[in-house]
Chain A
Amino acid sequence: MKAIVTVMLKTGVLDPQGKAIGHALGTLGFSGIGEVRAGKVIEIELAETDAAKAQAAAEEMSRKLLANTVIESFKVEIA
């Protein structure tokens, strides 16, 4: 199976990268741009075949390594 982990800064935490991207999009002439947030996505091939177990494993990986839960939140999808 494949776990897709998306890691974003928690709401309220300054996202300088998102801010800079939003600004650059404006400069490029795109209009109607609101808030931009930038995050990470990590795709992990897993030998696990049980979706629930894969989900649990990926969540543990996220808590332990992939996300810095002091400032980031994460989301796991299994595909």
Chain B
Amino acid sequence: MTHYPYYPGCGLSPEGFGRAFDWSIKGVNAVLGLDFREIPDWNCCGTVPYDTLHEEASFAVCARNLALAEKMGGDLVAPCSSCYVFLSRTNQYLAQYPKVKKSVDEALAAGGLEYHGKVKVRKVLDVYVNDVGNDVIASKVKRNLDGLKVACYYGCQEVRPIFGKDHPENPKYMDKLVKALGAEPVNFPFKSACCGGSLIISEEDASLDLIKKLLDSAVSNGAEVMVTGCPLCQLNVDAYQSVVNRKYKTNYHLPVLFFTQLMGVAFGLDEKELGLKTSIVPAKKALAKFI
């Protein structure tokens, strides 16, 4: 079994809105022989708000998690795109700005910690596709998702700030994984467009506009489900679909799943274990053939 330190982040924590992502990751890991070990007592990465209002401390807040992960050894897996961006960014700034390094080192030392910059931050999708490989994934498929039309929605941060291994605007690695499950990724030009998730609370109109465009594009290209690897994207497109329908007088019913849930379905895992019912737009109809 390969071990990775694991940073679920608030979204995937036991009380978080994306907990089904966490459940399904664990289910899939059992099949793939991976062991993600949660960092003991990790703290919130702070994401945009913290960076925005406390930019001095935001690096230290992230670095605490990195320091804890460094003690465990191995690449750190951060499923949430925003956590991923902010944790990786901390690495980058620590290396680039001596000033940041100094302040972070001092802050960590005050808490009895130290960090040497050795932790590589990675996404679940990256680990699955590049460490495990699509061949192995395909070999674990019990229920081929033959014919299922899937819109792979990467969201903006998954692939963007040059940390990623895939193209920042036209990523393909989720599409390839979905294909390995037997499903058919549809053409989806908005696959890396922003869903507006970070401002859905304060700037609802702007975000709803973006969600509508996503739904439009996915559905008009024939998607039966949308899959994503970002808990914020999932929440946004799933929970606000009804609001979009109300505002734009549309009638979308596109289930939005975590790609790990889809993997779980293909691997024959139990529907409960995958948390399929936590989706607000029910996935039952689209997946009826496979569960």
Q: Do A and B come from one complex?
A: no
